[in-house]
Structure 1
């Protein structure tokens, strides 16, 4: 890998007066500019605005997913990384990085290939008990969450069915809930505890950083990390 292909260095705190320093060649949307230019509410605590479990539960219950955001310095590093990936992987940018290096859903990729071909799903039916069509990964760039909250993403080769209004279809929502219960309840003492410590949501299309590949997010409050790590890179518990 050449010097030009190396991942960008991780930068520290953002200069809120000059928030685009380090992003000179990156296309930054107005929403991100606002986050980058907004200092934390407490100068003594850079994590003062991290989202609590109760706030997360309310955001998901009221479908105000636009309120989920990264800390300014995390967002800057994410934008720099995303730009680097898009420049160094001309076939499909972040999608290529994800399916090749994180999901391993591509059989072989040669420098002469111009098209990215993802392994087809075992079953075209969403949540059809095919573990190979799902994979659980930790979120490399999580939202600003208070300590103890873990953010994972469940990726799926099959599309998540949606209703006419763009929200998840009720049948699909029921299947996802069953899958989440089956897969993540074991990370807690009992089912009652898990009920209060597991949340999940699917971003609206406008908020998805990788819309080409279906996925949903799972938030876990103080899970058994040893057991959770055993779930990483697996399809979870089939329903």
Structure 2
């Protein structure tokens, strides 16, 4: 299993069971720093000779290991889906429910508009609650510096378009092209500086400061190069 020079000193042994012992040896291969060779030997019942049962390379303390494997649906992040990518939804996804199923507050609306019109599944109460938590705690929620500095909440803005159904009271879509959340779902208690009623615009004109008069100092006009008052002609004469 190992090339010459890759097996080091004996590190000890461990009893695995009746007539079954595993011996550990140091691994000198530079690519497997911290690993160790494990050789398991055994003796059959009433047999005289000991035979090798198994030999493997195992990680020890401080061994370099690959990251733990995580299923793709658990490591997927928002924005990872690209052009042409498909994201299959599991049949038992608790965020969805059959289109003919009652979902609570919006029972009448969903039964009228979803029954038999092509959508096999619609948003379930679990999926709706997850979306509410995600939207309300995200960048378009009330707990952001942008919302704290806003003159008023989105619910009072003329560019706020409320959602339909049970989410109407809490969320809407921003329709202000100059707002940072244009075209995105925002919480009713979110806000930004592009509020429709933000009529007070900070002045960009810098006010001129009054001149500073020095009443303590004076200029000596009798210095060289200065005009002597006695050499001047009287006013009114050419």
- TM-score w.r.t. structure 1 length? 0.21
Higher relative contact order (CA 8 A, sep 6+): 1
Q: Which has the higher strand share?
A: 2
Q: Which has the higher helix share?
A: 1
